[in-house]
Structure 1
C-alpha cells in the first residue's frame, strides 16, 4: 500500500499544499529514534507554520511529530521551541508535552526538521468554552492566573530574548538530540537567553537587512531595533515595495518612501523623549507564551463534579522572555472588542460582550489577589494608555507599505 494513503485531514483548506513526506521514512525515523516500532502515521492537522502528525507504535503511547511547513524559518526557531518546553518542564509544574527527540536540520532520512513529543490528552479549551457555565469559566480563568503566576515566580531572567539549551561545547544552537541518550544521562539542563527568533526579522524580505536581534536589556531597546529594521528596509526597498503593492508612479513612490522613513525617524525621536516602556521595563523579566490562546490550552471535564481542569499548555513556538506587562493580560477571548461607529451588533454579540465584561472584572480581581495591586495596575494601564498596544500593532507584525504608512500617521498625529 502507498504510505501516503495514511494521510488524512480534518476541516482544512484543500488548496493548501501539504508537506511532501515519505511516510515510510517517517515511521523508520521514529522507530529508530524512539526505540519502538512505529506502525502507523497520519496527519492530524495543519497550521500556518507546522503540520502535526500522529505516530502510533506496536507498544506504548502514541507520539506527536511536529514538522515545520516553511523552510525559510531559521534553525534556531525549532531549537528555541524545544528549549522553552524543556525549561518549563524542568522549572515548573505546568504540564507541557515532553520532548522525546528533535532535529533542527534537514540532514535526516525525512529531509525535514522535526520534533517528536508527547501527545497530551484533553480537549482544546476553545471547543467547549461557549458551552461552559459562568462558574466554570471563572474557574478556568482562576487556573490561568495561577499558571501565569507560576511562570512569573519560577521563570525569571535579566534579558529579553529566546531560550536556548546550553551544551558542553557552548554552541549557540543545539541541533540534534538523542532520545536514547537522554534517557541515560541526567535530565537536568542549563539554559541561556539568546537572540530573539521572530518572523519579523526574516519574512517579506527582512532577512536581507542586517539587524540586532538581542538579547535586549529592555522592551524599549527591542522596539527600537524593530523600528530601525523597518527604517533600513524601506530606505533601501521602499520604492520597490510600494510599486509591487499598488503600481505607483515612480516619483510618487520615491516621495512617499522618503516621508515614511522620516516618520519612522520621528517616531524614534518621540519614543526617546517620552518613553512609554519606562514604567514596565522592570526586572526580572519572565517567560511569555507567544500565542496563549484557547486553542493552545488543553482541558478535561471531571465526570464527578463537572469541573473543568487545565491539564496542559501546548505550542510554545516563538515564545520569548519579556515583561510582566506582557504576561499579565486578559485572555484574548474575553478582551473588549472595538467596533466601528454605527457597526451593527447582534443581540448574541451584545450578550457575549456583557458576559466578557463581567469575566474581565472577575479576572482583574483575581489577578490582584495573586499578583498584588501591581497586577491590577498593569491591567488598568493597558486600558488607559494604548501607546504600547499601538506600537505592538505596528511592529510585531510585518505590514505592507500603505498599512504601515497609515498606522504611523495615526500614531504620530495622536501622540
Structure 2
C-alpha cells in the first residue's frame, strides 16, 4: 500500500483477544513514538472491533491497523552479510534504545498489564495521563482455550498475582484434560505430571516473590528477536523495532534481561576455526555457521551488558540480582512443556531439599 507520504502496511488480526489486543498495540505504539526516540511504525488508522459508525471500519470483518512501513532489512536477513564490528554497533544502539524505554517516566506504571489510551479503556479515568494500565494481553492468557478461563487478567499489583494467574491457567487446562472422557491415557498422564509441577511451583511462590516485591512496572518488548529489528545494511544504523503486539508493562526484574536475539541457549567462548569444519570433499560443515553464530551471540551479549552497565541507572544491578526470579518465571512458562518438564522437576527437587541453589537457565 502506497501513499504520498510513503508506504503503508495493513495488518489484519484474528480475534485471539478481541478489542484488547489491537487497542493495546495501538496505544503502545503511540506512547513509544510520543515519548521516546525508538524507531517504531507510525499508526495511521485502526479498527479494534468496537462499535463504529463507519462501514469501512467493519468491512474486513477482522480487526486491523494501518501503519507506516519503516526502511531497512531485518537483522536476521542481514546477519551473514555484516561483520562483527557492525553487529556490535547495532547491539549497542539497541541497548541505548531499550535503556531509554526503561528510564522513560511515561512508560512506567504502578500496575502490571497492558496500556490503553483513555478512549480504548471505555470507562472514566481519574488519571491525568493519556495512557493507563488495563487487563493483560499475552499469549499465556489467550492461547488455545485460555481466553475462556475465569482467572484474574489484571491489572496486577504484584509479580505474585501475575505469576499465580499463569499457574492457574495451566492447572485449569490440566483439570479439563483429566475430566474429559475423550482424552487418551497418555494425555491424562502428562496432565497429572504437569498439574503436580504447577502445585509444587505454587508452593515456592513466596520464596521468590517476597524479596523482590515492587510497585514499579515498565513497558518491555519481550520478543525482540532478529526478525523484529530493522537495520540499514550499509551503515548498520538501527531503522526499526517491530512487533509491539502483546507488549506489557512488567516488573523491572522482567525488563532487565537480555533481548531475545541475544539470549542464546548455547554459549561459545572460543571462535570456531574454519579449518576444523572441513568435510572430506572439501566443503564446509553446516555446523560451522551455526557455531560461529553461537560465538558471535555470546560476544554480543557481553557488549550489550557492558553498554547497560555504562548507564547511570539501576538496570545492571537489577539484572544481576534477579537471576532466581527469572528462573522461576522460566519454570512457570515451561511447566507444561514435555521437553522441559523433567529439568524443572529436578530443579524443584533441589529447592525442596534445601540444597545449594542451581540455575535453571
Q: Same fold (TM over 0.5)?
A: yes
Question: Which residue of the other structure, out of 56, 60, 66, is the alignment partner of 2:11?
Answer: 66
* 1:162 Cα deviation after fit: 0.1
Question: What is the Cα-based RMSD across aligned positions, in Å?
Answer: 3.2
Residues in 2 aligned to 1:385 and 1:218: alpha-carbon distance in whole angstroms: 13
1:388 partnered with 2:325: no
1:324 partnered with 2:252: yes
Question: Unmatched 5+ residue regions in structure 2?
Answer: 51-56, 268-284, 352-361
Equivalent residue number for residue 286 of structure 1: 218
- More off after superposition, 93-102 vs 379-388: 379-388
- More off after superposition, 223-232 vs 404-413: 404-413
Equivalent residue number for residue 311 of structure 2: 370
Secondary structure at 2:292's aligned position in 1? helix
Q: Please say if residues 84 and 319 of structure 1, whose CA atoms lie closer than 8 Å, have aligned partners that are also in contact.
A: yes
1:248 partnered with 2:223: no
Question: Which residue of the other structure, out of 200, 213, 218, is the alignment partner of 1:266?
Answer: 200
* 1:201 Cα deviation after fit: 2.3
* 1:225 Cα deviation after fit: 1.1
Question: Which residue of the other structure, out of 168, 177, 193, is the alignment partner of 2:133?
Answer: 193
Residues in 2 aligned to 1:248 and 1:260: alpha-carbon distance in whole angstroms: 14
* 1:331 Cα deviation after fit: 3.1
Question: Which residue of the other structure, out of 324, 349, 352, is the alignment partner of 1:413?
Answer: 349
Q: Please say if residues 148 and 327 of structure 1, whose CA atoms lie closer than 8 Å, have aligned partners that are also in contact.
A: no
Q: Please say if residues 90 and 237 of structure 2, whose CA atoms lie closer than 8 Å, have aligned partners that are also in contact.
A: yes
* 1:65 Cα deviation after fit: 0.5
Secondary structure at 1:311's aligned position in 2? strand
Residues in 1 aligned to 2:323 and 2:129: alpha-carbon distance in whole angstroms: 40
TM-score, normalized by length of structure 1? 0.68
Residues in 1 aligned to 2:242 and 2:102: alpha-carbon distance in whole angstroms: 18
Q: Please say if residues 280 and 323 of structure 1, whose CA atoms lie closer than 8 Å, have aligned partners that are also in contact.
A: no
Residues in 1 aligned to 2:167 and 2:203: alpha-carbon distance in whole angstroms: 11
Question: Which residue of the other structure, out of 76, 81, 93, is the alignment partner of 1:143?
Answer: 93
Count residues in correspondence. Answer: 323
Equivalent residue number for residue 242 of structure 2: 314
Deviation track 1:325-355 (CA, whole Å, cap 9, x = no partner) reads 322322333333349xxxx993443333333
1:110 partnered with 2:60: yes
* 1:190 Cα deviation after fit: 0.8
Q: Which has the higher contact order (CA 8 A, sep 6+)?
A: 2
Residues in 1 aligned to 2:344 and 2:289: alpha-carbon distance in whole angstroms: 35
Residues in 1 aligned to 2:65 and 2:146: alpha-carbon distance in whole angstroms: 27
Residues in 1 aligned to 2:21 and 2:174: alpha-carbon distance in whole angstroms: 25
Question: Unmatched 5+ residue regions in structure 1?
Answer: 1-54, 174-187
Residues in 2 aligned to 1:171 and 1:288: alpha-carbon distance in whole angstroms: 24
Change (3 A) 1:127 1:354: same
Secondary structure at 2:180's aligned position in 1? helix
Equivalent residue number for residue 119 of structure 1: 69
TM-score, normalized by length of structure 2? 0.78
Residues in 2 aligned to 1:110 and 1:335: alpha-carbon distance in whole angstroms: 38
* 1:146 Cα deviation after fit: 0.8
